């Protein structure tokens, strides 16, 4: 499924269940591997990124087996992973390589972590720098800025670290190293990023501390095995919500989605654009609020999105680009330079693809301005190897008279393996 053709279509009126949350799935596997006893995971996301975390853990001695309803993970205890016999292949997954780096900084053996061509271009100094400060050998290609990474950890000491950019992956890496360290490790962020790591570690018995805008962990810590019912991924739900907003007459309900406020910024931005989008909380799972998202077609107006809104919508800017192309007026995003360091440079790549459909886009070092509402023209889009770009462009294609072709469509399998079937085959 390298190339897919998406036609503009009839109203989408349906209920959707999206795959398990990617961030929670990585963490469930990893933290279960570090726990004492057997953990159970239900609803683990089946994408390629999460599979990479699973393979790496198995290569370090964690036994993971299917039990019919989900997975059982035999934890090895904090500090109990064994040395892998080969390079740990994190494929396309930034979460795998960064969180594992933090964990492996607490292990005295040698680890080499790498991944695909896209991952090997992404910045890693932000993770390696604090791990070295804590006492690990943590180096990488290109003067310690890129993977492959080499880590030989050991007796770490607690650290107080201020992140230069809001990043849940880096925060998590430092907290996970802190779990293996002597003393307290504190992380301060410029803006709150997703807080799944701190919620989960606390629920598993770690001594997690919060003080104003900083979060800490007292080490060395221990984790108790637990149950992980992984809720749906709001970042996957985003594509269905955007589709409902773009196709006249549509109404979509996405069931059982993680509604952690550090993840739902996109839906709040849509509400500001005038979109009839509702989040209906129904309970909790994995220590996270869970519920349905309901979205209906309606007229949209462009908005400005500034720095403080960026972290809680960080993965949804490709989907926002599709919505902004159709909204009346301009949508401007600033304070989002992090988008340049995702699975693709999501500022340049998104702008290049939107322009192919006739959308006027201006880019800045830290964002973009999209002029919405002009007639869209059929296009041959390119995913740039980026799963979210592939899916966002497919959603935009629904609003293009004559549709569009998406090249590199297979990238969607990184987070949403059934996406094309559901979009093209669904009612
Ligand atoms: C993630 C954090 C975010 C996000 C990524 C998943 C996580 O990355 O973009 O898709 O699971 O912690 P950053 O930490 O680089 O912002």
CATH number at residue 381: 3.65.10.10
Q: Does 315 share its domain with 376?
A: yes
Q: Does 96 share its domain with 166?
A: yes
pLDDT over 80 (residue 248)? yes
Residue 274 neighbours by CB under 8 Å, 6+ apart? 298, 299, 300, 301
Q: Does 306 share its domain with 207?
A: no
Tokens (6 digits) for 96:
């795998």
Phi-psi region of 12 (alpha: psi -120 to 50; beta: other; left: phi over 0): beta
139-165 pLDDT, tens digit each: 999 999 999 999 999 899 999 999 999
Whether 117 is in a domain gets the answer yes
Q: Does 286 share its domain with 381?
A: yes
Quote the domain boundaries for residue 364: 3-19+233-424
pLDDT of the residue at 8: 81
Q: Does 141 share its domain with 275?
A: no
Is residue 426 very low, low, confident or very high in pLDDT (cuts 50, 70, 90)? low
- Distance in Å, CA 169 to ligand 1 centroid: 5
For residues 262 and 251, what is the distance between their CA atoms, to the nearest angstrom? Answer: 25
Confirm or reject: Cβ of 167 under 6 Å from ligand 1: yes
Mean pLDDT calculated for residue range 31-36: 98
88-129 pLDDT, tens digit each: 999 999 999 999 999 999 999 999 999 999 999 999 999 999
177-227 pLDDT, tens digit each: 999 999 999 999 999 999 999 999 999 999 999 999 999 999 999 999 999
Map tokens 């935009």 to a residue. 396
Residue 131 neighbours by CB under 8 Å, 6+ apart? 101, 102, 105, 138, 151, 153, 173, 174, 177
- For residue 401, CA distances in Å to 8, 42, 234, 374, 376 come to 6, 41, 28, 12, 7
Q: Does 326 share its domain with 365?
A: yes
pLDDT of the residue at 1: 65
Domain count along the chain: 2
Q: Does 119 share its domain with 249?
A: no
For residues 363 and 333, what is the distance between their CA atoms, to the nearest angstrom? Answer: 9
Catalytic (active site) residue 129: no
Q: Which of 89, 195, 315, 386 is catalytic?
A: 315
Q: Does 129 share its domain with 248?
A: no
Confirm or reject: Cβ of 314 under 6 Å from ligand 1: yes
Confirm or reject: Cβ of 95 under 6 Å from ligand 1: yes
Confirm or reject: Cβ of 310 under 6 Å from ligand 1: no
């Amino acid at each position: 499924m390298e190339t897919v053709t998406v036609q503009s279509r009839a109203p989408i009126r349906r209920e959707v269940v999206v795959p398990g949350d990617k961030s929670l799935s990585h963490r469930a596997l990893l933290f279960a591997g570090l726990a004492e006893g057997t953990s159970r995971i239900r609803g683990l996301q089946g994408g390629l990124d999460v599979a990479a975390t699973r393979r790496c853990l198995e290569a370090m001695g964690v036994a993971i087996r299917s039990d019919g309803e989900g997975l059982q993970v035999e934890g090895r205890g904090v500090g109990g992973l064994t040395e892998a016999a080969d390079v740990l292949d994190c494929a396309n997954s930034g979460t795998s390589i960064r969180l594992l780096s933090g964990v492996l900084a607490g292990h005295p053996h040698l680890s080499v972590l790498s991944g695909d061509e896209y991952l090997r271009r992404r910045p890693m100094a932000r993770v390696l720098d604090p791990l070295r400060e804590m006492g690990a050998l943590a180096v990488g290609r290109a003067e310690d800025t890129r993977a492959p990474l080499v880590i030989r950890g050991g007796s770490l000491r607690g650290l107080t670290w201020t992140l230069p950019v809001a990043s849940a992956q880096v925060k998590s890496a430092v907290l996970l190293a802190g779990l293996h360290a002597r003393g307290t490790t504190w992380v301060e962020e410029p803006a709150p990023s997703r807080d799944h790591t701190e919620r989960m570690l606390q629920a598993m018995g770690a001594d997690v501390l919060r003080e104003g805008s900083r979060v800490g962990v007292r080490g060395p810590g221990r984790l108790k095995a637990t149950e992980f019912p992984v809720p749906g991924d709001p970042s996957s739900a985003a594509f269905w919500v955007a589709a409902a907003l773009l196709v006249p007459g549509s109404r979509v309900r996405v069931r059982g989605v993680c509604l952690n406020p550090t993840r739902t910024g996109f839906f709040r931005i849509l509400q500001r654009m005038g979109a009839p989008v509702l989040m209906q909380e129904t309970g909790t799972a994995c220590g996270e609020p869970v519920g349905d998202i309901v979205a209906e077609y309606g007229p949209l107006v462009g908005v400005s999105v500034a720095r403080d809104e960026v972290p809680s919508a960080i993965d949804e800017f490709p989907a926002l680009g599709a919505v902004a192309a159709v909204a009346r007026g301009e949508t401007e995003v600033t304070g989002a330079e992090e988008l340049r360091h995702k699975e693709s440079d999501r500022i340049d790549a998104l702008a290049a693809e939107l322009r192919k459909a006739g959308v006027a886009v201006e880019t800045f070092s830290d964002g973009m301005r999209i002029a919405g509402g002009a007639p869209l023209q059929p296009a041959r889009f390119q995913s740039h190897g980026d799963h979210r770009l592939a899916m966002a462009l497919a959603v935009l294609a629904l609003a293009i008279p004559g549709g569009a072709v998406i090249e590199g469509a297979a990238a969607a399998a990184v987070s949403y393996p059934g996406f094309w079937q559901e979009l093209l085959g669904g009612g």
